Structure 1
Amino acid sequence: MSRVLYFDCFAGIAGDMALSALIDLGADIEYIREQLKSLPFDPFELQVETVVKQGMSAKKLVLQFGKDADNAVQIHSHEHSHDHGHSHSHDHEHDHGHSHSHDHSHDHSHDHSHDHSHDHSHDHSHDHSHDHSHEHRKASGIIKDIRESSLPERVKSRSIRVFQAIAIAEGKIHGMNPEDVHFHEVGAMDSIIDIIGVCLALENLEIDIIESSPVPTGRGRMRMAHGLYPIPAPATLEILQGIPLDDFAVESELTTPTGAGILKALATRFGLLPAAPIERMGYGAGTKDFSHPNVLRVCLIEQDEKQMREKIHVLEAQLDDCTGEMMAFAMERLMDAGALDVYFTSVYMKKNRPGVLVTVLSLPEHTDQCEDALLRETTTFGVRRSEWSRKILERKWVQVDTKYGRIQVKQAWQEQTVIHQAPEYEDAAKAARAHGIPIKQVYDEVTERLSQVNYYTK
């Protein structure tokens, strides 16, 4: 049996919503708290409280920070982004995913409950008296801390993949190396706790496979330190590239970069709720109040692996008058449209003409876009469509340290066993070029390291 977690993002997703929903589902908050406190964090306390959002009961995350978390607290329920040189964000439908390369700190002590604006309309209601540094951490530093921690290996792997997904998007948006990205919202301690806490909750619940519904992002514009930005935020949309979106027309940010990063890094399928019995559900609340319940729902599903299959569509077209350049460009467009795979097969057509059979594999939610790309970018007059089912193995990425540098390895798991594994080609090729050696030598080194170190623990 495999344990499948389904994120039902009908109102969007943020890091704190995901963590509180998993705790509501049954994840042990004591286990999460103890594991997090083994990390080099400032003193904090983590709790959940029950709230009601438009008639729907849900758990809401409460984080407290300070030298004495019982006395000096910062409640994890802010809804703001200050436009004075930094984004003091707490991942509640507003962690806008922008980065800077500077460090600063400020002290403040105040007791208030009011509405105010710093070039960005927001509500802000909390009591706190604390003295802390808003440290803008580098992605490489966060990942290093996780890698050197005593967290379970699968928690490390999943957490690192989330941070990498966000760092890659941030780097692309700002023209930086992902390792050099300085985060505001993800660098904030509460967002780090959200991400690692989610991965700890998944581990505690023994989740093997993660799936998700299409993702609503919200719409409109929001004021940030860099100016007036669109919703979804650039980093959020970059992370969600290739993931089906849900057109839920709400004038607000519904999905944050952290929430998007969790889905991008961990979910292996996006679509409707699987046709399988649901064991139980959990609900995690966001901070904002709308006319709809601002809640993330998670569903736990037990599935027999022998019965687990995924629906895909297969598109085909035969071409005898399309140039190689046109087909190469068509493949690029098809992958951009969300194709799982595209391949060409040499065939003989009518009148004994040599031709090419184009085959496109797609999830149902991307099929129409792929079909349109195939008709538009090739010379075919028609496309055949058929529905297939397939069984896929759980995928996992591990980092392997070799004498040629760190190489990512993709593993395929079935239950508790690694079935296949292979180095990431781009990492291996980069190492081979840097050291002037054959790529096979890099592959051999990775294989040797895999045999020496336990990379087979889920």
Structure 2
Amino acid sequence: MKVLYLDCFSGISGDMFLGALLDLGRIDISSFVASLHEFLPLSLAVDIRKVHKKGIAATQVVVSEPDPPKERRARDLFDLLTGSSLPEALKEKALKVLRRIAEVEGKIHGLSPDEVHLHEIGGGDTLVDVVGTLYALDLLEVQAVYASPIPTGRGFIHTAHGILPVPAPATLELLRGIPVYTGTLEGELTTPTGAALVSSLAQSFGPCPPLVVQEVGYGAGMRDLEVPNVLRVILGEREERATPEKNVLLETNIDDMSPQILEYLTERLFKAGALDVFVTPIYMKKQRPAFTLSVLSPLSLASLLRTIIFEETTTLGVREYEVTKWVLPRMATEIPTPWGTVRGKAVTKHGRVVVLPEYEDCKKIAAQTGLPLQEVFRIAQESASRKEAPTPGHRENH
């Protein structure tokens, strides 16, 4: 399986991500830039140059727009992409990333996502960063993306809304559920575009997984810092075997709460980042019927999920264990079917890839068509077996 690891020791931005992918040396840059001009209906100058950051040679991407509008609404960017000549699969992925940015900006400013004014991230450079990164990943045939924890930087930055703290509110919202740290460097290390890309593409965050290194690339940021201001990416082949992952298991026994609460509790726990939530019927002292609530959590979210359990249940205590989970290589993918695209999960088992269609998507199709759910699953799995190797999708929780 071809994988990409993002070593974000100096943060991540859209131009750093794109520059690092081009720095791998496997993409013809002149053809790549020509394709971007063909794809995007804007007059843009894309300058790709070699620079040095603290002695490290890196690729820097500089995009300029001769006559940019004063500002663009998110809807303007959506319309530009929708009317572009991008391949449909690439267009859909790019729209998903941009919509995530618009949604968090709308939440922060109390506006509809379509009406949000994107200011610093509304230029043509944002389109090049997002579309270029996704296109480069396709050209490199990357099947899975992993990343280190994300440094945000600290201090304050000047924006169209005035002076804001670092990380910017949009950046922090986009990194919800992802391990981050401030670090010691002043200024903005991770931008909203970088946060949107890494949170949409990376399947997990932590140390580099076991892989055979094939290429290493460096993408340069614009500023000069105390350390090399670069994003390092490692392209390699990952062994198709289970790898260990450290999690926390939270448990509590409950015998005095209405089971009606469980649906809401489960939804809230999953929304907060729980990897799994399940309930086991038990008998407690005096043979009272009860249940054990079990919540599997990333190490970084155990405290938050424990607080939710105390808030939403009648329990007075929660047991907590650190557990090791062995995970088979997997990735999110998309399956073409006669009824449109169905989401799926590609799992590598014994040297072959097994694609599992998403239950909710198949359920919706069965309800719309009147076909038995098992028949929808069968057709989706047959379509998956004919599909080429999956391309990277959203972060996959295990």
Q: 1:25-424 counterparts in 2 under 5 A?
A: 25-28=24-27, 29-66=29-66, 132-134=67-69, 136-147=71-82, 149-307=84-242, 310-322=245-257, 324=259, 331=266, 334-335=269-270, 337-371=272-306, 373-374=308-309, 378=313, 379-385=315-321, 386-391=323-328, 393-396=330-333, 409-414=342-347, 419-422=355-358
> Do 1:24 and 1:284's aligned partners in 2 also have CA atoms closer than 8 Å?
yes
Per-residue CA shift, 1:68-106, capped at 9, x if unaligned? xxxxxxxxxxxxxxxxxxxxxxxxxxxxxxxxxxxxxxx
Counterparts of 2:95 and 2:6 in 1: how far apart (Å)? 20
Q: How has the CA–CA distance of structure 1 residues 136 and 13 changed in structure 2, closer, same or farther, with 3 Å as cutoff?
A: same
1: CA distance, partners of 2:181 / 2:14: 19
Question: Contact 1:410/1:424 (CA < 8 Å) preserved in 2?
Answer: no
Do the aligned residues in 1 keep the contact of 2:147 with 2:206 (CA within 8 Å)? yes
Aligned counterparts of 1:259 and 1:135: Cα–Cα separation in 2? 23
Deviations 1:309-355 (A, max 9, x none): 65544333222344557766765664465322323222223432211
**Shift of the alpha carbon at 1:141?**
4.4
Cα deviation per residue 1:218-240 (whole Å; 9 max; x = unaligned)? 12222323233221111111111
Aligned to 2:22: 23
Q: What code does the residue aligned with 1:389 have?
A: W
Q: In proportion to residue count, which structure has more helix?
A: 2
Query: Aligned partners of 1:147 and 1:420: how far apart in 2?
Result: 30
Q: Report the equivalent of 2:394.
A: none
User: Distance between the aligned counterparts of 2:370 and 2:202, measured in 1?
Assistant: 27
Alpha-carbon distance in structure 1 between the residues aligned to 2:24 and 2:215: 7
Displacement of 1:241 after TM fit?
Answer: 1.1
Q: What's the counterpart of residue 393 of structure 2? A: none
Q: Encode CA deviations 1:164-210: one digit per residue, 9 max, x unaligned.
A: 21121112112222233332233201111011010111111111111
- Say which of 356, 368, 379 aligns to 1:441: 368
> In structure 1, what residue type is equivalent to 2:330?
L
What is the TM-score normalised by the length of structure 1?
0.71
**Aligned-residue offset at 1:15:** 0.6
1:287 match: secondary structure:
coil
Between the aligned partners of 2:166 and 2:120, the Cα distance in structure 1 is 16
Partner of 2:396: none
> What is the CA–CA distance in structure 1 between the aligned matches of 2:164 and 2:20, rounded to whole Å?
29
Instruction: Output the TM-score relative to the length of structure 2.
Output: 0.80
- Please list the CA deviations of residues 121-157 of structure 1 after superposition, one character each: whole Å capped at 9, or x if unmatched: xxxxxxxxxxx13264443443454355443454333
CA contact (8 A) 2:328 2:347 kept: no
Q: Structure 1 residues 292-301 or 28-37, which shifts more? A: 28-37
Aligned to 1:97: none
Q: Output the amino acid matched with 1:34.
A: A
Superposed CA RMSD in Å reads: 3.7
The residue type paired with residue 293 of structure 2 is V
Structure 1 residue 6 and structure 2 residue 5: aligned? yes
Q: Which runs of 5+ in 1 are unaligned?
A: 67-131, 429-437
- The separation in 2 between residues aligned to 1:264 and 1:408, in whole angstroms, is 22
Distance 2:387 2:92 in 1: 12
Provide the identity percentage: 36
Secondary structure of the residue aligned to 1:242 is coil
> Per the alignment, in what secondary structure is the counterpart of residue 281 of structure 1?
strand
Q: Please report how far the alpha carbon of residue 376 of structure 1 lies from its aligned counterpart in structure 2 after TM superposition.
A: 7.0
Against the structure 1 CA distance between its residues 400 and 221, is the aligned structure 2 distance closer, same or farther, given a 3 Å change threshold?
farther
Separation (CA, whole Å) in 2 of partners of 1:249 and 1:400: 49
2:20 corresponds to which letter in structure 1?
A: A
SS at match of 2:317: coil
CA distance in 2, matches of 1:169, 1:397: 25
3-state DSSP of counterpart to 1:268: strand
| Aligned residue in 2 for 1:127 | none
